[in-house]
Amino acid sequence: AKPRVVVVGGGAGGATAARYIAKDSKGAVDVTLIEPTRTYYTCFFSNLYLGGFKEIEDIGHSYGNMAANGVNVVHDWAVGVDRDTKTVTLAGGASLKYDKLILSPGIDFVDMAVPGWDISAQNAMPHAYKAGSQTELLKAKLMAMPQGGTFAMVAPPNPYRCPPGPYERVSMVAHFLKNNNPSAKIIVADPKPKFSKMALFQEGWANHYDGMVDWIGEEFGGGNVSVEPDAMMLTIDGEETKVDVCNVIPAMKAGKIADMAGVTDGNWAPVNAVDMSTKADPDVYVLGDAAQQGDMPKSGFSANSQAKVCANAVRGALTGSKVFPAKFSNTCWSLIDTNDGVKVGATYEATDEKIAKVDGFISATGESAELRKATYEESEGWYSGITADMFG
Ligand code: FAD
């Protein structure tokens, strides 16, 4: 019988891994991808949808090409993993045997991380940190804000999915409000003293959105936050503010199935950098946000990069094909305003201990408009590239 690989989660990590193993093994490995949704909305560029730069259709992708690429796509939830019998069970009742199991389930939220907020409050106070209906809801609320109203964000503590994501979102919300609701205000309550590309964002907010963004960092009580979703009340360091929109982005942990598989330690799954296999089980791999990824940030670019390392190693282990040394890379682009793109990135290698940073780069403050426009265009090229790499 052919060796069997089961991949749980059809996002940046899982879709890439499934496609590469199927494609490169040319039918020698059976690859099954478990993913409940039929349309995957990328979180990447979802902020640009909020800002009006993209339509929701632009960020939705189907799994239609995966089958043609040799991947057996099953639209269901994985609800259990038995590592002794090497079996994954699905919500629909089926069970699947594997020789190698790859988990890339993304994130879930830490319960009660923001007092007053739990998942039942996500309609009143959306997180929009899993893209799709939540992103559409946040946009609808943004569009319905009264003139001169207040948009609040509760930013997450480290480590979390997409370090610049909340701040790109603030920029895109500000862009929308500047054109549609110029007397509105944005409050950001942040449990961190600083954040990714901080100097670049703060320069951009000052240049484009003068006075609109009030960022309240950890030293100003930004971490001492609670919410009352029914009353649309936000309390920062004892001070109550009635807000019109409240985007709560709670603390994060690995998607629950990683926990159920018993491969997490605390909130994330420790992995061996050389092939992304877990420390708990050499036949179970964890990719992307759910993994403890050493020096890499939790990004779609990172997950895609890790998936290729993992796919190469898994195929090698199952078919004897050549395994190349693990090399990783990441770039996180952010759009601050029209044609004002910035980026931060790095390359990485596998050490015994972790995925270790080799070299990095970051946009500078004060760059020319031409360079910022070129950086934005680069991000559009990357978006087309990664989605083609994931879905074929
Ligand atoms: P995901 O892509 O989330 O995929 C996980 C999949 O697993 C989901 O489709 C889910 O349905 C499925 N799943 C979960 N549990 C189960 C289960 N039990 N059974 C079956 N399936 C399951 N990254 C960038 O590189 N560039 C950016 O510009 C960028 N911008 C971002 C902006 C925002 C606002 C946000 C929130 C994120 C952004 N990211 C960006 C981060 C990026 O989206 C994530 O890091 C990336 O999607 C992680 O990939 P993943 O495979 O770990 O998880």
pLDDT, tens digit (0-9, with 9 covering 90-100), for 90-120: 999 999 999 999 999 999 999 899 999 999 9
User: Looking at residue 104, what is its pLDDT?
Assistant: 99
User: What distance in angstroms lies between residue 227's CA and the mean position of ligand 1's atoms?
Assistant: 26
CA atoms within 13 A on the CB side of 238: 1
Residues 16-44, mean pLDDT to the nearest whole number: 97
Atom of ligand 1 nearest to the CA of 79: 18
pLDDT digits (tens, 9 = 90+) for 173-204: 999 999 999 999 999 999 999 999 999 999 99
Question: For the chain, what percent of residues have pLDDT higher than 70?
Answer: 100
**Whose alpha carbon is nearest atom 43 of ligand 1?**
43
The single-letter DSSP state of residue 265 is B
Does residue 340 surpass a pLDDT of 90? yes
pLDDT digits (tens, 9 = 90+) for 83-97: 999 999 999 999 999
User: Looking at residue 67, what is its pLDDT?
Assistant: 86
pLDDT digits (tens, 9 = 90+) for 227-239: 999 999 999 999 9
- Is the minimum distance from the CB of 44 to ligand 1 under 6 angstroms? yes
Does residue 36 surpass a pLDDT of 90? yes
User: Looking at residue 221, what is its pLDDT?
Assistant: 96
Question: For the chain, what percent of residues have pLDDT higher than 90?
Answer: 98
- Is the minimum distance from the CB of 36 to ligand 1 under 6 angstroms? yes
Q: How many whole angstroms separate alpha carbon 36 and alpha carbon 106? A: 13
- Is the minimum distance from the CB of 10 to ligand 1 under 6 angstroms? yes
| Mutate which of 286, 289, 306 for ligand 1 pocket (most atoms within 8 A of beta carbon) | 289
Residues 59-77, mean pLDDT to the nearest whole number: 95
User: What distance in angstroms lies between residue 11's CA and the mean position of ligand 1's atoms?
Assistant: 5
How would residue 205 be classed by pLDDT, with cut points 50, 70 and 90? very high
Atom of ligand 1 nearest to the CA of 333: 28
Residues 208-226, mean pLDDT to the nearest whole number: 96
Residues 156-162, mean pLDDT to the nearest whole number: 98
Choose among 109, 121, 70, 87: nearest CA to 226: 121
User: What distance in angstroms lies between residue 210's CA and the mean position of ligand 1's atoms?
Assistant: 32
Residues 270-298, mean pLDDT to the nearest whole number: 98
Choose among 3, 6, 2: nearest CA to 14: 6
Q: Is 93 left (phi over 0), alpha (psi -120 to 50) or beta?
A: left
Hey, is 221 helix, strand or coil?
A: coil
User: Looking at residue 111, what is its pLDDT?
Assistant: 87
Structure token digits, residue 172: 């895109």
Q: H or E segment at 21?
A: helix 12-25
How would residue 69 be classed by pLDDT, with cut points 50, 70 and 90? confident
Cβ atoms of 221 and 191 closer than 8 Å = no
Cis peptide before 159 (omega within 30 of 0): yes
Residue 105: CB atoms within 10 Å: 28
Mean pLDDT, the chain, whole residue set: 98
- Is the minimum distance from the CB of 303 to ligand 1 under 6 angstroms? yes
